[in-house]
Structure 1
Amino acid sequence: MSYLHAMTCYTEGIKVLAPVKWRSLDGLVGVFWDAEGQSGAKGYYLSPDPRIVIFFSDVSPFIQMTNREGGMAAHARPMTRAVYVPAGVPLWTSFTSSHRFSHLDLHLHKDRMLRFLSPSVGMSCALAALRRPVEIQDVGAIETLAGLLVDEVSTPTKHAVYAESLVGSIVSGLLDVSDHGTELPNGRLTQAQLNKLIMHVNTRSDGRLSVAEMAETVGLSESWFANVFKQTTGKTPLQWQLARRIDLAQKLLVESELSITDIAAQLGFSDQAHLTKTFRQIVGGTPAAWRRMQQFN
């Protein structure tokens, strides 16, 4: 399949440090970058095709990302080692400090990805996987595969089928190709989706996300997410999130000397009374009484 990728790309404060290496294959293009971003550097990327980005070092302390326009302040999350961006999903990035990095970009035609996946998992599951974004920090064997692919992109030594098979292994290893997802037959979230949601919530100091943001994190519609979330956890998304905020309150009560008023403000409760009422409903006592009890244990 003859394929030329198209992407809208805008960057500021990012410079390329070595000649870009790229190779066009059957229905995909691999591009290897070695670059550096200054503190405050930023980028915007939008492609009509699916794409994968794999970093060869940990960039999470240096690069933030968001899929919401103007959302860097409120919705930013650390960039992970490997990212799958579905077709048509925008991505904004911002550097919190200067950092040199290298990464492999894979631009893939949708039909090529379906050819990788559908013979093994079925067309319905493959289509669902293509719609679900993926962000992972523990890249494991994917980094090894990406390194082998970079060698073939930079200096081809084997038939193209070798490089294409590496891409296929990366796709199948990175994407969520389980039987669960947008069309979840048993109405439950996967453990991978729950882990991703927990990681995202943990990046917020107040532990708060809207249901729409939670649904977007795992690649589901808001209405479907609310339904399958309760089937999975036994709680509504807001009940689950409220319980996690109370867990954070307990952690702050034990590990800090913050007043209950300050804890309430930090965790997004309207006032101390609101925190106390919610805390009593979930824990069975007031924050003050619970803190005193911990001090004597």
Structure 2
Amino acid sequence: MTFQPRMQNRIEGFSVIGDLRRRNWNGVVADLWDVECAPGAGGYYVAQDPRLVVVLDMKGGRNGKVSFAPSRNGTTVEQRRHTLSYIPAGMELWAELRDVEYIRHLDLHFNIEALGRRLMEDLDPVRLSDPRLMFQDPRFLALAELIAAECDNPDPLHNLYGDGLTVALFVDLMRVPLARSRKRSQLASWQLRRATDFIEANCLRGIRLEELSQLTGLSQSYFSHAFKASTGVAPHQWQMNLRIEKAKQLLLETDVPLTIVASDTGFSDQAHFTRTFRRVVGATPSNWKKSRRT
């Protein structure tokens, strides 16, 4: 399902020039706005997803300024153009424009779950929740300018171009370290026991990774890596091994056809069952059964 930013706002004094330019890449939505501003323009915003707001250009009087505050009565931070603001999910943002007639800004909305899966990393919750209002960084600005140009491009380039730019900016913004420089820890004993008990009790149906991660209080990416570090196999392979053990029991104790064995142990059909059995055991179900009865 395509990621859609979720935001509430109450604003006045803004008039969008032309159409919103929106691009949706893997885990990031980029919105490019050109806006005319009336005197006293401003408003209130709150979003359910974190975002980065980049003031690319601004025109107006000599004293033109944009002010952001984390609450209605909070301390304001003022800047002119070429500034960036990282706003965590759920944070109120109050904006006020003074002596500004026109503003061009880029909004990058981040799907944290999707980006965490892509990066195979557990993103730092402290950094994710730490607002940074009206800062300047030439590296981020250079990437933002390229992203904005692609949003405005009438002949868009391959999605990998914008995808790479947005992920690069996010990685730098969140200071995501090189993956191999961090060692994954194993699950705690209670987490491993809870996960394996759940898989065993439900191994004949499809188990979603989300279910297992919620049981252990971890993100999906972290749980998957920690489970493999603890057991030597991925959660899905653990489930397949349990199904194969149940199939072995049926093969030894009954003479039901392989189609029934496959159905009773959660496989989609006999062919799927046979392929999986051979990969795990090293022999087809029929040959394995014969070897155990001789």
TM-score, scaled to structure 2? 0.52
What residue number does 2:68 align with? 65
- Work out the CA distance in 1 between the residues paired with 2:175 and 2:132: 7
* AA at the equivalent of 2:146: L
Determine the structure 2 residue equivalent to 1:161.
Answer: 160
CA distance in 1, matches of 2:27, 2:174: 18
Aligned partners of 1:70 and 1:54: how far apart in 2? 23
Which blocks of at least 5 consecutive residues in structure 1 are unaligned?
Answer: 179-297
Alignment of 1:1-297 (within 5 A): 2-57=2-57, 61-71=64-74, 75-79=75-79, 81-115=83-117, 119=120, 122-123=121-122, 126-155=124-153, 157-175=156-174
Higher Rg: 2
State the distance in 2 between where 1:95 and 1:162 align: 33
Q: Deviations over 1:104-130 (max 9, x none)?
A: 1111112134346x54xx52x533221
Instruction: Please give the secondary structure, in 1, of the residue aligned with 2:137.
Output: coil
Given that 1:134 and 1:174 are in contact with CA atoms closer than 8 Å, whether structure 2 keeps it comes out as: no
TM superposition score normalised by structure 1: 0.52
Structure 2 contact 79–134 (Cα < 8 Å) conserved: no
| Aligned twin of 2:284 | none
Could you tell me how far apart the structure 2 residues matched to 1:61 and 1:76 are? Answer: 15
Q: Distance in 2 between matches of 1:69 and 1:135?
A: 15
Distance 2:29 2:90 in 1: 17
Aligned length: 172
- Asked if the contact 1:134–1:175 (Cα under 8 Å) also holds between the matched residues in 2, the reply is no
Q: Distance in 1 between matches of 2:145 and 2:49?
A: 23
Deviations 1:195-239 (A, max 9, x none): xxxxxxxxxxxxxxxxxxxxxxxxxxxxxxxxxxxxxxxxxxxxx
2:208 maps to: none
Give 1:52 shift: 0.8
Partners in 1 of 2:54 and 2:173 — Cα distance? 10
In the TM superposition, residue 5 of structure 1 has moved relative to its aligned partner by 1.2
Measure the CA separation in 1 of the matches of 2:25 and 2:168. 15
Alpha-carbon distance between aligned partners in 2 of 1:20 and 1:88, rounded to the nearest angstrom: 23
Instruction: Assess if the C-alpha contact under 8 Å between 1:134 and 1:176 holds in 2.
Output: no
SS at match of 2:85: strand
Higher strand share: 2
Please state how far the C-alpha of 1:58 moved relative to its aligned partner: 6.6
Identity %: 26
The 3 A distance-change label for structure 1 pair 68 and 89 is same
